[in-house]
Amino acid sequence: MALGANGYGTTARVLHWLVAALILAMIPVGLIIVREGLDRGLQDALFIFHKNVGSLLIALVALRLVWRLTHPPAPLPAHLPGWQRRVAGLSHLALYVLMVVLPLSGYVRVRAGGFPIEALDALGLPTFVPRSEALADAASALHQGSAVALMAVLALHVGAGLHHALILRDGVWPRIWPPRAPR
């Protein structure tokens, strides 16, 4: 799809919002599954959801990265101050790094711990990771720390987007939001 004159094309927008929706679904599930005293059946179902959606996110983020590298967005609006451009660039870089680190560290944690990932197992994909409690523990720590970092960067990202959309109304938000149909 072609790039919008002032923002992102349809493919970039669809990938953005699909990944965003899945990440926003994963956050509360990730916070719930580590709680003590959770019903074992519920915990197991949430772990299966978390592992399999995480696997889907690995593929979608890879696709999104390829798309972004081959289809750069239009420049930010000229009226934005330099510091906002720098913060936007750094926050987007942080989001991409965390969107790679989180699912990969989760994958390593699960596989090194000797646990299944049902969707990947059903596809017959190999494990790629040796069984190792030390590796599983390191990946778990990285996964948890990255999740906290992602929540912080997401809060900044969403807050900035809403600030541009609701307060400044300066044309930044429509760059990524689905366009309105002509009247």
Residue 64: per-residue pLDDT: 96
Q: What is the pLDDT of residues 134-155, one digit of tens each?
A: 999 999 999 999 999 999 999 9
The helix/strand count (H/E) of the chain reads as 5, 0
For each of the domains in the chain, give its residue range(s) and CATH number, in order of start: 10-175 (1.20.950)
Amino acid occupying residue 34 = V
How many CB atoms sit inside 10 A of residue 32's CB? 13
Can you tell me the mean pLDDT for 101-112?
98
Question: Is pLDDT of 4 > 70?
Answer: no
Alpha helices in 34-132 (DSSP H): 40-70, 82-112, 118-122
CB-based contacts of 140, cutoff 8 Å, min separation 6: 105, 109
Mean pLDDT check: name the lowest of 49-63, 74-88, 124-138.
Answer: 74-88
Rounded to a whole number of angstroms, the distance between the first and last alpha carbons of the chain is: 22
Which residues have CB under 8 Å from 23's CB, separation 6+?
57, 99, 150, 154
Say whether pLDDT at 3 is over 60. Answer: no
- Segment among 76-80, 82-86, 150-154 with least mean pLDDT: 76-80
The pLDDT value given to residue 182: 63
